[in-house]
Amino acid sequence: MAFLRYEVELTGAAPLLCSNNCTIDNLGTPADVLGWYYKIPQKKREIRIERSMRNFHWLFSGYWGSEGTIEHPSETDGNDVFDCYADPIIPAANFQRCLRDAATAWKLGKDVSRSTIVENDAKVVYDGPKEARAMLKEGRFYSCRPNGRGNMAIRLCFPQWSARYRVLINDEIMGDRDFAKILDRAGVAEGLGAWRPGSPKGGRFGRFQVTGLTPLELDGEV
């Protein structure tokens, strides 16, 4: 059995809209915090409350390399008080799924699952502050768009972005040529984040180009 390791550099060809599904955990902090707001009848929500609610939606849409602290809105009169969330990332699992879905065009989805390991969560590389509160204040990292169901979708957004992953491949199952063509299709037809080309309803966000594919040493650990 032989293995290859690559560093894959992705550069955004379209803005990246983040989509963390952490709120589906009914016992988690995000669901608890947002649940407090949803208990307030919409007609009784002050603008301040609506804004705080949206800011928490924004925070929870992202993946953060440094997770901070949150004060529950029941203790802050509904204000959005959070601190030390910083260093946005794109999880390894997201890129792994992106590769698998792209490979299905050649019926290679199972081969990707069996042969390919994305080894790291990738830092989002962009020009701007890395701390969530500063990003929110700046404005250009905030997306508010209709979701098609009569509501607004609030998301962490990166107008320009790049990311680097380390990918380990069993080349007895997945050859380097197949891997290269899967990468290219992943950037055009699948993308990362929300409202990407590969999402159920399709979209224009999250597309990328592969701007680097560098072999790395294995150092004998595999």
Give 202-213 pLDDT, tens digit per residue.
899 999 999 999
Q: How far apart are CA 157 and CA 205, in angstroms?
A: 10
Of 71, 62, 76, residue with least CA distance to 23: 62
- Structure-block tokens of residue 123: 């830092």
Q: If DSSP codes are grouped into helix, strand and coil, which group holds residue 162?
A: strand
Q: Which of 27-31, 143-147, 170-174, 217-221 has the lowest mean pLDDT?
A: 217-221
Of 115, 132, 160, residue with least CA distance to 64: 132
Give helix 92-103 / helix 176-185 axis angle, nearest 10°: 100
Question: Which pairing describes strands 16-17 and 142-146: parallel, antiparallel, or unpaired?
Answer: unpaired
What is the structure's pLDDT at 36?
A: 97
What is the structure's pLDDT at 222?
A: 55
pLDDT tens, residue by residue, 54-84? 999 999 999 999 999 999 999 999 999 999 9
pLDDT at 220 over 80: no
pTM of the predicted protein model:
0.94
What is the structure's pLDDT at 221?
A: 58
Q: How far apart are CA 71 and CA 187, in angstroms?
A: 38
